[in-house]
Amino acid sequence: MELLRTVALAALASLLASCATSQGFDRLPPLRTAQSSELRINIAHYPSSARTAYAVTPGEIAIYEYRGRGWRSEILHTTVADDVLVAVADLQSLDGANLGCHVYDGDSVSIEASLSGERFSLHSANPDLCSMSGEDRATIRVNRVLNLIRALRGELILAPSP
C-alpha cells in the first residue's frame, strides 16, 4: 500500500510539474518609454485560442507561446534582434493604424514599440495573407518585421516586397 501511495504521489508531482508555466507574455510589465528600444508583438491565431508573442530588445528576442494550457517561453540571444528593431522603425509612421484586407480568421497582430523614447502601436489582421495578395503595402511592411523573427525559427512566410 505504501508503494502504491509513493508511486501515486510521484505521478501527481510529475503531472503538476508538466503543467507549470513560465511567465506569460500577458504578465510582462508595461512597455516603458525610455531611451532604449523595445518591441512587443502579440499574435492571436484565430479561430483557435493559440497565441504567439515576441518581446524584442537589443540583442535578445523572447518568444512566448500559448496553446491553451499556459505559456511556454524561450529567450534567444541574437543579433537578429537588432535587425528587427531597425526594421520596425519603418512602421512608426503607421502609429494607431488598424490594417487588414478583408480576410477573416487567421492571425490578428498587435504591435507596440518604444524606439529611442518614441512610442507607437498598431494592429494588423492577417498581414501574411494580405501581403501575399499584394493588396496592402502597409501589411507587407508588417510582414517583413514578422519574417525576420520567423526566419530564426524556420517559419518564413514569403510575400512580395513593397
Q: What is the pLDDT of residue 131?
A: 67
Question: What domains can be seen in the chain, in order of their start residue?
Answer: 31-152 (3.30.1560.10)
Residue 109: predicted pLDDT: 92
Q: How many whole angstroms separate alpha carbon 117 and alpha carbon 35?
A: 5
User: Higher model confidence: residue 32 or residue 161?
Assistant: 32
The model carries a pTM of 0.77
Which tens digit of pLDDT belongs to each residue from 102-153? 777 788 899 999 998 888 999 998 888 776 665 578 888 898 899 898 888 7
Look-up of cell digits 510582462: 28
